[in-house]
Amino acid sequence: MTAEPVTKPLLRVLTGKRTAIPPIWLMRQAGRYLPEYRALREKADGFLDLCFNSPLAAEITLQPIRRFGFDAAILFSDILVVPHALGQRVTFAQGEGPQLDPLEEPSALSSLRSDIDHNALEPVYATIARVKQDLPRTVALLGFCGAPWTLATYMIAGRGTADQFPARAFAYRHPDAFVRLIDVLVDASASYLCRQFAAGVDAVQIFDTWAGVLPADEFQRWCIEPVARMIAKVRAQVPAARIIGFPRGAGTELPRYLDAVPVDAVGLDWMTELSFAREHIQPRRTVQGNLDPLALLAGGAALDRATDAILEAFGQGPFIFNLGHGIVPDTPIAHVERLIARVRGRV
Ligand code: CP3
């Protein structure tokens, strides 16, 4: 790992250095807005089959690199492969999002494995090894997982719900069972990330998509503490592990997140105010973000203005340009091209 930070701008920035032009990648950069993704998607039966088809998943991971020349490739997979590898049934109905057999009562937890089945995830590790071979030397490869809280919300509800009501209610009603579930997810996710590093990823991102629906105390208990424990476990095995945290919606709790969670960089959602982040977050950690995906969808003057404001706010410190959440499927390719050119100072 020692020679790589020099050749990959994104890894340099993760060590707290500034680059003249910020590295750029986009959450969900491999996906439905790309015609070449939609063409491959038709070749697989279900979405999970695609995630577990290493040749296709590797190709999809590389598609946005070939088309746009991003500074990082993110492994094509999904956060819900972890519940799958814990024995929960996970399916993706076309156009409807994920469906899992919900864990409605504490007794349902006994249907889960206590440790992650790495055999079920071998195809993911094989995808990493394949991508690694074909990736340009300057492009970083990112692995990822869901944070325990966000995974638990899908496992309990069986799907995405408004403000994740079912998991929040479950955590209040059955705190002991909820602690057990979170503990299983901390161990499973740490072990999963270690295997991703062993297979060749340069850094990982921990997606806590639903961090923002919790009151402050609950945020401390179910987001901050479990992710901090997870990172300690990962670094016990992989001391140099580079980690980006993405606690979406953390808002004014972000400083507290950084107090306790030793991430190398923090992904900011698009709601995060730029001057707040410049003054209180960037002096402490590399920041990543935070263009509103809908500004990218809209394009035109609104996109240029929003892009410039972010470059202006974060350009003087360690910074990775990204969206504040995933790219939306209707986003025109031309807008992505424009964004990259503008970040790189070409338009
Ligand atoms: O390009 C990349 O970012 C890499 C691949 C990736 C996917 N999902 C592919 C995907 C990553 C990093 C994820 C993470 C993920 N998955 C998160 C965290 C980030 C976020 O967006 O909040 C979450 C919550 C999930 C769970 C999930 N997967 C949902 C809720 C959905 C349905 C919504 C949707 O966008 O369709 C998915 C499906 C999914 N994951 C698709 C892709 C490309 C679309 C599936 C398809 O092609 O039919």
Q: Is the CB of 144 under 6 A from ligand 1?
A: yes
Three-class DSSP category at 206 = strand
> What sign has the CA pseudo-torsion 276, 146, 100, 104?
negative
| 346 Cβ contact list (under 8 Å, min separation 6) | none
E strand segments, the chain = 72-74, 90-93, 97-100, 140-146, 203-208, 243-247, 265-267, 286-291, 319-323
Residue closest to 71 by CA, chosen among 31, 28, 24, 38: 24
Give the residue numbers annotated as catalytic, written as ranges.
Answer: 28, 32, 41, 78, 154
pLDDT tens for each residue of 176-215: 999 999 999 999 999 999 999 999 999 999 999 999 999 9
78 CA to middle of ligand 1, Å?
6
Residue 17 host element (H or E): none
Residue 166 to residue 184: CA distance in whole angstroms: 19
Q: Measuring from atom 25 of ligand 1, which residue has the nearest CA?
A: 79
Asked whether the predicted pLDDT for residue 131 surpasses 70, the reply is: yes
Q: What's the pLDDT at 346?
A: 87
Phi, psi of 287, rounded to the nearest 5 degrees? -110, 150
Q: Is the CB of 307 under 6 A from ligand 1?
A: no
80 CA to middle of ligand 1, Å?
9
Residue 241 to residue 227: CA distance in whole angstroms: 14
144 confidence band (pLDDT: 50, 70, 90): very high
Q: What is the mean pLDDT of the chain?
A: 96
Q: Is the CB of 209 under 6 A from ligand 1?
A: yes
Q: What's the pLDDT at 95?
A: 76
Q: Is the CB of 207 under 6 A from ligand 1?
A: yes
The angle that helices 175-199 and 225-237 make with each other, rounded to 10 degrees, is 30
Confidence (pTM)? 0.97
Q: Measuring from atom 11 of ligand 1, which residue has the nearest CA?
A: 78
Residue 56 to residue 206: CA distance in whole angstroms: 24
47 CA to middle of ligand 1, Å?
10
What percentage of residues in the chain have a pLDDT greater than 70? 98
31 CA to middle of ligand 1, Å?
8
Range with the lowest mean pLDDT among 29-33, 95-99, 285-289?
95-99
